[in-house]
Homo-oligomer: A and B are copies of this chain.
């Protein structure tokens, strides 16, 4: 994939290796976790928690990285920007995202902290609770951006989690400014209700400065607009950005564009592991848009990709999503 070709989707986020283990609700309670959310942990706690965890499985993760991988699976030209360390887990991360067909050229951090990892507990109901040690991701900065790559990409996709490492916020805003100046679209995913709580003013400012596509689930959009009512939050979101996709778990999703509202049904699936559902939804949605499809098809493709992610362990499905997108097209969806 030559840079000259121009990516359809360029995602920026924390480069993280997931360590996934099964655990009961009691394990979560004992370690003070809130089920289904992400919390940041420091080195000491990461070590204590890992020692207490059952045997795990490691795989490449990170919200925007998952989105880039699934978008590539759906046939989009996708790239990812994020910081790993020059260590074994960093090599694993780089291998996996490239093997998924995603362009990834960010230089690894040498001689600093190790690659970020998220200690993830999957409870019997399929929900994931994440404990993230940011590691090398905190070294991500403006220097890791390639302005030409950003200016050439159709959509710049930013994950909200990247607001957590301090230097990354600056890079985040700079990347958005480059994309806007080049006439490209900026997409933002809110990532997690507590992430929104940590960075609410910064999120609102970024959106006001020009976010073209906003992705959020119910808890996140409610947290952003400080309301307990989904309809109120949705109305506020409609005013804030030209295109909004709000995911609602088993109730599917709602796509809002100006005065238009499209209700998208969920794709039937069995629930094995819900993580990556939102990442995959954004991937399907953006891949469909990149393929020239309308908003209703984009929403449907989001649901299809999310269902594929939910039906298996791990955030990056194996399903041939390119085929699904083509089938959707043939059906005139």
Contact = CB atoms under 8 A, between A and B. Distances in A.
Interface of A: 19, 21-22, 50-51, 53-60, 69, 87-89, 92, 95-97, 99-100, 114-115, 313-314, 316, 318
Given A22-B318, A114-B88, A57 B55 contact: no
Contacts of A316: 55
Given A57-B59, A58-B59, A88-B115, 5 more contacts: A19-B92, A54-B99, A55-B59, A56-B95, A57-B314
5 contacts: A54-B99, A55-B69, A55-B96, A57-B57, A58-B92
A69 B22 CA distance: 16
A318 B22 CA distance: 9
A316 B96 CA distance: 23
Contacts of A69: 55
Chain A binding site: helix, strand, loop or mixed by DSSP? Answer: mixed
A259 to B, nearest CB: 42
A57 B58 contact: yes
Contact of A58 (B50, B51, B58, B87): B58
A109 to B, nearest CB: 14
Nearest to A20: B57
Contacts of A58: 57-59, 92
Nearest to A59: B57
Contact of A87 (B54, B60, B88, B97): B88
B314 A99 contact: no
A318 B20 CA distance: 14
A221 to B, nearest CB: 31
A114 B87 CA distance: 11
A311 to B, nearest CB: 14
Instruction: From A96, A100, A115, A314, name the one whose CB has the most chain B CB atoms within 10 angstroms.
Output: A96
B57 A99 contact: no
A95 B60 contact: no
A56 B96 contact: yes
Contacts of A92: 19, 56, 58
A43 to B, nearest CB: 13
Nearest to A99: B55
Contacts of A88: 87-89, 114-115
Contacts of A115: 88
Contacts of A114: 88
A115 B50 CA distance: 19
In the A-B complex, list the 4 residue pairs whose CB atoms are closest, starting with the nearest. A58-B58, A55-B96, A88-B88, A57-B59
A137 to B, nearest CB: 16
A203 B123 CA distance: 45
Contacts of A100: 55
A95 to B, nearest CB: 6
Chain B CB count within 10 A is highest, among A51, A57, A114, A318, for A57
B60 A99 contact: no
B95 A55 contact: yes
A53 B318 contact: no
Contacts of A97: 55
A50 B100 CA distance: 13
